[in-house]
Amino acid sequence: MPTVALIITTYNRPVALDRVLDSVARQQSMPEQVIIADDGSDARTTAVVGAWQGRLGAPLSHAWQPDDGFRAAASRNRAAREAGTDLLVFIDGDCLLRPCVVAEHRRLAEAGCAVAGNRILLSQRLTAAVEQGAADPVDWGMREWARARLAGDVERLSPLITLPGQRWRRLRPRHWLQVRSCNLAVARADFERVNGFEEEMTGWGFEDSDLAIRLINAGVKVKSGRFATAVLHLWHHERARDDAERNRQRALAARRQGVVLATLGLRQRPAGERFDPPVADA
């Protein structure tokens, strides 16, 4: 079985990150590393990470970068440079992991494949209850999920089902549209082969599509992680999408042109570059 680094992106949502780390602590199969890919959060996030270090059940590190706008690609690359494992599992810092998620990503890992997981969207009301500690869907049984569906607090239940077999997961090996970086597993060697995320893609959107396209161009196949790896996505306001169309066009150009390497990626940063995260005033 491959070793796993769980890379969790975050930006100034410390309560959600705390709930996500709590779900990580309850994994049936703990990752070998957990790395917080922080896009410039303030000292509240540093406090959350510090509170979990030493009690998470896995080594936890904080890869922070200065706040200079939406730079999720750069933050993920920064975290990936710290990983020393076979497999990188990218999760967003507002996505709770059901206890099986790391184990399923480990089980589905396959040479030359990236596994595209999916998510279940939680309502604003249920998200508030989770953040207040009044609800814990990570450990729900089907009765609780059925009640939540009837109440309109989740949009679907089918991702909770686990389906056997592997062949059907490989039926769409070039389907880049199914790849979302909120739940994605890729071999570290393949990630390094394409030079990681494209850091020239700033602002919200399509940096995950661009990565998927370049992985496919490099010969990596997309494998479905549906009906095995679904995460629980906490509600949030829709982010500004001013850069989305520009990013989309860049990803489509990479597809047309057969681009493999990120122009600004893993290899373009100084070796060992690291920033100290902010700490609260004494």
- What is residue 100's three-state secondary structure? coil
Bridge partner list, 9:
37, 92
Phi, psi of 204 (to 5 degrees): -70, 135
Contact 90, 152 (CB under 8 A): no
Q: Can you give the residue ranges of every domain in the chain?
A: 4-121+165-267
Confidence of residue 78 (pLDDT cuts 50, 70, 90): very high
How confident is the model over 72-87, as a mean pLDDT? 97
Q: Flag whether pLDDT at 243 surpasses 90.
A: no
Question: Is pLDDT larger for residue 111 or for residue 21?
Answer: 21
Q: First vs last Cα of the chain: how many Å apart?
A: 44
- What is residue 150's three-state secondary structure? helix
Q: Flag whether pLDDT at 172 surpasses 70.
A: yes
Contact 63, 79 (CB under 8 A): yes
- What is residue 211's three-state secondary structure? helix
- What is residue 109's three-state secondary structure? coil
Q: Considering the entire predicted model, what is its pTM?
A: 0.96
How confident is the model over 161-175, as a mean pLDDT? 91
**Architecture of the domain defined by 4-121+165-267:** Alpha-Beta Complex (3.90)
